[in-house]
Structure 1
Amino acid sequence: MIVSRDGARRHAFRVEMAVEPYQQMVGLMFRDHVAPDEGMLFDWGTPRESSMWMRNTLIPLDMLFIAADGRIHRIAERTVPHSLAPIPSGGPVRATLELAGGTAERLGIRVGDRVLHRIFGTAP
């Protein structure tokens, strides 16, 4: 679940967890659809600089880079399918959440909003 900074908006998502190296390597590659309320959460275990790419990814994604406390640190919106260009976190993050491209804009998700999930100790 993502909660806006002021607590006025809440958005629930069903997420797949990418914890194992193979899951993290493949991510959402080769999928032709991600539902509006679905995504994939990459758990890096401990905060670190993260960089993603869109190799073999067929659809645009929004990537939310999330700090250890669950706050959204950076958002890369509508990433380009098949691109090999790195998409950096811009600082140490605990996790990255991939959503369907355009989700952040559609729902008004912004840097500073909070992701509630057990890996951040903030499960709803």
Structure 2
Amino acid sequence: MILNRLFLAILLATGAHGCRAETQNVASPSAAIAPSGLDVVTLEVRGSDSSHAFRVEIARTPEEQEKGMMFRDSMGADDGMIFPFPSPRPARFWMKNTMIPLDLIFIREDGTIARIAVNAEPYSLAGIESGEPVAAVLEIAGGRSVELGIVEGDRVVWPGGPVG
């Protein structure tokens, strides 16, 4: 138990985040509440000639971000989770206890997509890094970014987000 807490403290201190989320709810007026207890908002990814809306849970706290999508066995095609950070920073995620493949979309402070990690492998402990400081990370169903033609440079907008 002590080793587990020490490991979690080291992960949080080094900026490693799981692909997971749950906990205290800080509701916003435009948000619904998911079964997980997290706020849910509509997020839009805007490309040069198209846009697509997702229904996303907001993982705000370190505890919510640590759990993220852990232990979930499915995700709707237009569902997701957003991990906003208080200020831009390099981000590192992993797939520990995450049962489904995910696309991780790393979002710059101006709302543009810096990097997309497509079909992250379930249960993998390999780090998935942003490659530069980012303001948020969006997780959607694995392969969905390719299906929709979402690419680096597209813009992500949500209430309370970098440009939302």
Between the two structures, name the one with larger relative contact order (CA 8 Å, sep ≥ 6): 1
Q: Deviations over 1:61-115 (max 9, x none)?
A: 0000000010000000000000000000000000000000011100000000000
- The percentage of aligned residue pairs carrying the same residue is 48
Confirm or deny that 1:96 pairs with 2:96. no
Q: Deviations over 1:14-63 (max 9, x none)?
A: 00000011110000000001100000000111000000000000000000
Whether the 8 Å contact between 2:55 and 2:79 is mirrored in structure 1 is: yes
Q: Give every structure 1 segment of 4 or more consecutive aligned residues whose post-TM-superposition deviation is greater than 2 Å.
A: 118-123
What's the secondary structure of 1:12's corresponding residue? strand
Larger radius of gyration: 2
Give the equivalent residue in structure 2 for 1:2. Answer: 45
Structure 2 residue runs without a partner (length 5+): 1-43
Confirm or deny that 1:74 pairs with 2:115. yes
Whether the 8 Å contact between 1:3 and 1:113 is mirrored in structure 2 is: yes
Find the aligned partners of 1:80 and 1:121 in 2 and give their Cα distance.
28
Count of matched residue positions in the alignment of Structure 1 and Structure 2: 121
In the superposition, the TM-score normalised over structure 1's length comes to 0.95
Decide which of 85, 88, 96 is 1:55's aligned counterpart. Answer: 96
CA apart distance, 1:121:
4.3
CA apart distance, 1:122:
2.6
Whether the 8 Å contact between 2:108 and 2:133 is mirrored in structure 1 is: yes
Find the aligned partners of 2:119 and 2:149 in 1 and give their Cα distance.
14
Find the aligned partners of 1:80 and 1:57 in 2 and give their Cα distance.
9
Whether the 8 Å contact between 1:69 and 1:120 is mirrored in structure 2 is: no
Structure 1 residue runs without a partner (length 5+): none
Give the CA RMSD over aligned residues: 0.8
